[in-house]
Structure 1
Amino acid sequence: MATISTAQKAKPATPNLPVPLADPAPARHPHAVLDRAARAALARLTGGVSPHSIVAAWQDWSLHLARSPGRQLELAERAQANAGKLGAFAMSEALAREAEAPFAPKAYDHRFTHPGWEQPPFSLWKQGFLAVQDWWHAATDDMPGLAKGDADRARFQMRQWLDIVSPSNFPLTNPEIIQETVAAGGRNLVQGAAHFTEDWLHTLLQTREKPPEGYRVGEDLACTPGRVVFRNPWFELIQYDPRTEAVHPEPVLFVPAWIMKYYVLDLSPGNSMVRYLLDQGFTVFMISWRNPGAEHADWSLEDYRRNGIMAALDAIGEIVPDTKVHANGYCLGGTLLAIAAATMARDGDDRLASITLMAAQVDFAEAGELLRFVDDSQVAFIEDFMWDQGYLDRPQMTRTFASIRAEDLIYSRAVNRYFLGREDLPTDLGVWNGDTTRMPARMHSEYLRGLFLENRLTAGRFAVEGQVIALKDISVPLFVVGTETDHIAPWQSVYKTRLFTDCDLTFVLTSRGHNGGILSEPGHPNRHYRIGHREAGALYTDPETWLARHDPVEGSWWPELSDWLAGLSGEPGPPPVPGRALGAAPGTYVHQT
């Protein structure tokens, strides 16, 4: 077992008032169970979306608009201007004159890329849709007194409704569908109907498609050789086989999020972060979380810390004794790692050599588009939903993430699959993205309330074992990674780790999104990053200023991480003796459905 300092065992002399993660609920009348069952039944009908949150957002918006005659005139003028632009464009189209389109889709919106959308009447339908979209975007902008969350929710919900009626979704108004139907003699519609039936049956029966040939877990994906060296009900610990004759003495422990399977970090051999670090002379361990069921409904966030990260450190200490560990947390795993590290710092546990946080938030005040799904009513609705089934299941989470970019992830895919009759092209990231897991009811409730909704971690109100923890207690070096187009953990939110810590910190901002920005192996085309270093105790710099001061560097950020870890590690020597094998990697938990 790794050596633990005396301070770790000592209890603080000053009493600390406990701040529980989840406030104890007051005693309720037995009839409250009936209420909760009714709400859970309604939640099933709505897919876990709270009708009250929707109504409240629009009520707040409409009441504030009703008392703002100036804003009403502004919107009326915008509608008149948009109609004028649209009329002028239509006249130019009718006279066969060259005219610049007055409205353009967002950069991420690929529904109108087919050349047919530039020809009448499709061009007019496209511009009409974008004109209405532009007006509603302005109409749901901030107003004095209007809650920012309600404005964002109203805008998001209207965008969802507009996406449903987009001309790109209907065969008679989409030139690409018409062209394909004529060319294929209607076979595309027959094939699309077969795809729709297949998908409908999978949804109805809650079954999973088998991964396509060439994308099997353990054979093509998650295929870096290793062994399971520890297992408990929460996770399996994988130790990977060394790929160099000499390795640094300090091992690397990956803590992935349990909302997805771990192997996004060991995807294909060419883009596996695990394999890359092995090739750089590191010993690598990986936590592979269990996919929980209804019987695990009472698993808490504290269970994942204590029986997950801390148990993994104990197991590594048995295999590599008296050696500190480089811990790396991804997404929600990074948030939990920050909690564990702050707790260890408070208790004098000095087993960490460094901490890497990849697309992980410690402060949720600016948590991006997911905030549109979180308020008190919505969280209570989800809690009732989970109370009924014991967990948050795959379809609910998949719908939430897909709706953030519904243009591409829902409607463009539906058009391609159901009207154009095209098969989904498999990719390693796509197969992993579909291999989702469940979230235990208690843990997910604690995460939504304690972290996402109440932001307790950076507010000084997050308690572990009855005592508040503080991120400022962390003294080991930090390597923090944000991604430019992340809609799950926006980089400005990830950057705020600098605001709540005082230790030596390196911040990297990489191109692409939440997953694509992390999977940025050397040699990957069209990748760049920015990197900056803050010495311990230095003054804070806001994200916009930081961005202006750091120029992009072409290529992968992985070598920066490897060099940073090597600089905090000892001289390479013989690889450690591997732990007792309980089975070959990738283990058994990764195959749970």
Structure 2
Amino acid sequence: MARDETEERDTGESLERLNQNLARMEELSKRLVAALSARKPGDAGLEGPGQELMLKTGMAIWQEALTNPAKLMERQVSYWSQTLTQYMELQKELSQGHFALPATEDAPQDKRFSNPLWQTHPFFHTIKTQYMISAEAMRSAVAELDGLSPRDKKKVAFFAGQIIDLFAPTNYLATNPDALEKAVQTDGESLVKGLENLVRDLEARHGEILPVLADPTAFHVGENLATAKGAVVFRNQMFELIQYAATTEKVHQTPLVIFPPWINKFYILDLKPQNSLIQWIVDQGYTLFVVSWKNPDASYAETGFETYIEDGYLKAIDVACAVSGQDQVNAVGYCVAGTTLALTLALKAKRGQARVKSATFFTTLSDFSDQGEFTPFLDSDFVDAIERQVEAEGYLDSHYMSKTFSYLRAKDLVYGPAVRSYMLGEPPPAFDLLFWNGDSTNLPGKMTVQYLRGLCQDNGFSADGFALMGEKLHVSDVRLPICAIACETDHIAAWKDSFLGIVQMGSKDKTFILSESGHIAGIVNPPAKKKYGHWRGPEPIGTPDAWKEAATYHEGSWWPHWEAWLSKRAGKKVPARALGNESYPATDPAPGSYVREIVTG
């Protein structure tokens, strides 16, 4: 009797918790509706493929059906055959009173389907297998579709991939065994927490569904991120210039200036002491200056590359020279800041100026003839919509860049986090890299259009020249010693495209390094971790594949090899310098104030 009473009590408590959770969900549902209603209708050109692409695709499919119906029927019959075979195998297993899929060693691993129930449970196995069959059928149909240009086919393949990722069964509660199991185990508590997370994100993003990737309360810039010691020695409307405190008794005579991209904030190079490139450079005996860009709002609508170069690059170089008492600096540009550094160097060459002794380019594009995975976002339908947006707002809100980069890796940066947060009810992780990734910045209206039209679409810098500041700038105008680091799996600045731009530069002294990993991990790769290796080879000429074939692979980080290259161009050692001088005194401690700004309009 006692046991029965205990079970009855446990059942009653469980039922009470379930009813409480259902009541909380009802209240959250009201907030959910309110949050969704706050979403402003956006430009249709920013939400999906343009009508022209859909019309072209539809016509290509129709033309194929008319001219080669056998091909279309063969594809359809193959799809039916696979589906029917799956059904028959299921029936056979069930008729024998068991269900287990024979393991296949060559089956592709997909962490979305790691729960054993996807393999052993008839319902979930059927759902997963049918999804895989349908996904492959869609990919094949796009790949075999004639009547589209290679560029249009690439765009159709991208959007088809988005549909495939969206309809994965793991994205829906009824077909996600992990979410269902946890909901049962927690008496619905996981679903309540998930709904709380969803409402939180919707309210924070004004009705737009894009999951928060990292715990926003776990990190504080200047406290447990961006902690290298230094001070702001100059500030204008474009940037703060941070000089970092020397950690060695002597430093190289020629200072180093790093220009990070203004698409994100500079502290990716100083996340924590263990992987801080900024701290590592200082520890090697360099006087280091780093630019921290202003996060623009609508008042920066007319800010273009001209302003970034004149009031940004040239001014930062002048201040670094004045503070260090030198006539020249070595410079580093990362991503779009590397592209702009190349423009700056081309301009200085036209003007006969030589205040930069050498340049290093991190994951930099200067030839945009192949736009890789960004092709869907660089055709006129999307760029036209961006131009309308910046004309109306004066700037491109950081939300659009975050969304674009996220959907390039939708499985990992959209749907995976959404499942964990909204269906499993898990809090976002305390992950510094993802925190930085979400701490994005706006882009000025004029600069955005110049970049998309003049560089990406027209490929002006490596084609006929890029008109800027009264000059026609070409990548071949860059003639000083250069070192370029590209990353093997970079989906933002593909290494082969980066290589092609370096080949066209007019420098006689060129070094090219190919790091393993991607856009961030390939650059932020400290020697102590011994994680990713790199290739070093002959002078970058010819094709990227030929260069890599002739290159030698080396274990570990490329940082020491680059520093050896840089030290030969950094002059003799002199006593370590103090922060700032009389003309440019040290003011706010690093990381400054601009990096902490949150601009919403």
**Fold match by TM threshold 0.5:** yes
The within-5 A match list for 1:459-538 is 459-503=463-507, 504-524=509-529, 526-534=531-539
The Cα shift of 1:214 comes to: 5.2
Residues 49-87 of structure 1: CA deviation (Å, up to 9, x unaligned): 357952211211222333335765445434433443444
CA spacing shift, 1:280–1:343, aligned 2, 3 Å: same
The Cα shift of 1:456 comes to: 0.6
The residue aligned with 2:64 is: 68
TM-score by length of 2: 0.85
Counterpart among 66, 81, 84 of residue 81 in structure 2: 84
Mapped pair 1:140 → 2:142 = yes
Mapped pair 1:190 → 2:195 = no
The range that moved more, 356-365 or 140-149, is 140-149
The residue aligned with 1:546 is: 547
CA spacing shift, 1:529–1:75, aligned 2, 3 Å: farther
The residue aligned with 1:56 is: 52
CA spacing shift, 1:534–1:124, aligned 2, 3 Å: same
The Cα shift of 1:559 comes to: 1.2
The residue aligned with 1:352 is: 356
The Cα shift of 1:588 comes to: 1.0
- Between the aligned partners of 1:490 and 1:110, the Cα distance in structure 2 is 26
The Cα shift of 1:551 comes to: 4.1
The within-5 A match list for 1:330-341 is 330-341=334-345
Residues 245-277 of structure 1: CA deviation (Å, up to 9, x unaligned): 111111111111111111111111111110011
The answer (yes or no) to whether the contact 2:268–2:436 under 8 Å persists in 1 is yes
- Between the aligned partners of 1:79 and 1:511, the Cα distance in structure 2 is 41
- Between the aligned partners of 1:98 and 1:200, the Cα distance in structure 2 is 40
The Cα shift of 1:111 comes to: 2.2
User: 5+ residue gaps in structure 2?
Assistant: 1-38, 94-98
The answer (yes or no) to whether the contact 1:253–1:325 under 8 Å persists in 2 is yes
Residues 346-370 of structure 1: CA deviation (Å, up to 9, x unaligned): 2221111211111111111212211
Residues 426-468 of structure 1: CA deviation (Å, up to 9, x unaligned): 1111111111111111111111111111111101220222221
CA spacing shift, 1:153–1:283, aligned 2, 3 Å: same
Aligned letter for 2:78? A
The Cα shift of 1:322 comes to: 3.2
Residues 477-530 of structure 1: CA deviation (Å, up to 9, x unaligned): 211111122111111111112331242222122122111211111132541211
CA spacing shift, 1:215–1:71, aligned 2, 3 Å: farther
CA spacing shift, 1:588–1:560, aligned 2, 3 Å: same
- Between the aligned partners of 2:380 and 2:117, the Cα distance in structure 1 is 46
Residues 320-379 of structure 1: CA deviation (Å, up to 9, x unaligned): 233421111111111100110111122221111211111111111212211211212321
- Between the aligned partners of 2:413 and 2:564, the Cα distance in structure 1 is 36
The range that moved more, 297-306 or 66-75, is 66-75
Mapped pair 1:565 → 2:561 = no
CA spacing shift, 1:550–1:80, aligned 2, 3 Å: farther
- Between the aligned partners of 2:100 and 2:207, the Cα distance in structure 1 is 54
- Between the aligned partners of 2:213 and 2:172, the Cα distance in structure 1 is 27
- Between the aligned partners of 2:106 and 2:411, the Cα distance in structure 1 is 17
| Structure with the larger RCO, 1 or 2 (CA within 8 Å, 6+ apart) | 1
SS at match of 2:41: helix
Aligned letter for 2:359? I
The Cα shift of 1:578 comes to: 2.7
The range that moved more, 438-447 or 346-355, is 346-355
The residue aligned with 1:163 is: 165
The within-5 A match list for 1:69-468 is 73-93=70-90, 94-95=92-93, 96=99, 98-99=101-102, 110-119=111-120, 120-141=122-143, 145-204=147-206, 212=216, 215-468=219-472
CA spacing shift, 1:482–1:114, aligned 2, 3 Å: farther
The Cα shift of 1:418 comes to: 0.8
The Cα shift of 1:112 comes to: 2.2
SS at match of 2:50: helix
The answer (yes or no) to whether the contact 2:537–2:548 under 8 Å persists in 1 is no
CA spacing shift, 1:52–1:193, aligned 2, 3 Å: closer
SS at match of 2:441: coil
The range that moved more, 505-514 or 433-442, is 505-514
The range that moved more, 166-175 or 180-189, is 180-189
The residue aligned with 2:576 is: 575
The answer (yes or no) to whether the contact 2:333–2:341 under 8 Å persists in 1 is yes
The residue aligned with 1:12 is: none
The Cα shift of 1:173 comes to: 0.9
Q: Tell me the matched-pair count.
A: 545
- Between the aligned partners of 1:312 and 1:574, the Cα distance in structure 2 is 22
SS at match of 1:433: helix
CA spacing shift, 1:262–1:471, aligned 2, 3 Å: same
The answer (yes or no) to whether the contact 1:50–1:378 under 8 Å persists in 2 is yes
The answer (yes or no) to whether the contact 1:110–1:412 under 8 Å persists in 2 is no
The residue aligned with 2:41 is: 45
The residue aligned with 2:25 is: none
- Between the aligned partners of 1:126 and 1:284, the Cα distance in structure 2 is 53
Aligned letter for 1:54? G
The answer (yes or no) to whether the contact 1:249–1:323 under 8 Å persists in 2 is no
The Cα shift of 1:583 comes to: 1.6
Percent identity (aligned): 33
The residue aligned with 1:586 is: 591
- Between the aligned partners of 2:444 and 2:357, the Cα distance in structure 1 is 31
CA spacing shift, 1:142–1:229, aligned 2, 3 Å: farther
SS at match of 2:462: helix
The answer (yes or no) to whether the contact 2:463–2:474 under 8 Å persists in 1 is no
Aligned letter for 2:127? W
The range that moved more, 146-155 or 413-422, is 146-155
The range that moved more, 73-82 or 214-223, is 73-82
- Between the aligned partners of 1:310 and 1:211, the Cα distance in structure 2 is 38
The answer (yes or no) to whether the contact 1:529–1:552 under 8 Å persists in 2 is yes
The residue aligned with 1:27 is: none
SS at match of 2:311: helix
User: 5+ residue gaps in structure 1?
Assistant: 1-42
- Between the aligned partners of 2:143 and 2:355, the Cα distance in structure 1 is 49
SS at match of 2:529: coil
Q: How large is the RMSD of aligned CA atoms in angstroms? A: 2.5
The answer (yes or no) to whether the contact 1:142–1:148 under 8 Å persists in 2 is no
- Between the aligned partners of 1:550 and 1:75, the Cα distance in structure 2 is 45
CA spacing shift, 1:335–1:354, aligned 2, 3 Å: same
The Cα shift of 1:423 comes to: 0.9
The answer (yes or no) to whether the contact 1:357–1:478 under 8 Å persists in 2 is yes
The answer (yes or no) to whether the contact 2:45–2:381 under 8 Å persists in 1 is no
CA spacing shift, 1:129–1:389, aligned 2, 3 Å: same
SS at match of 2:291: strand
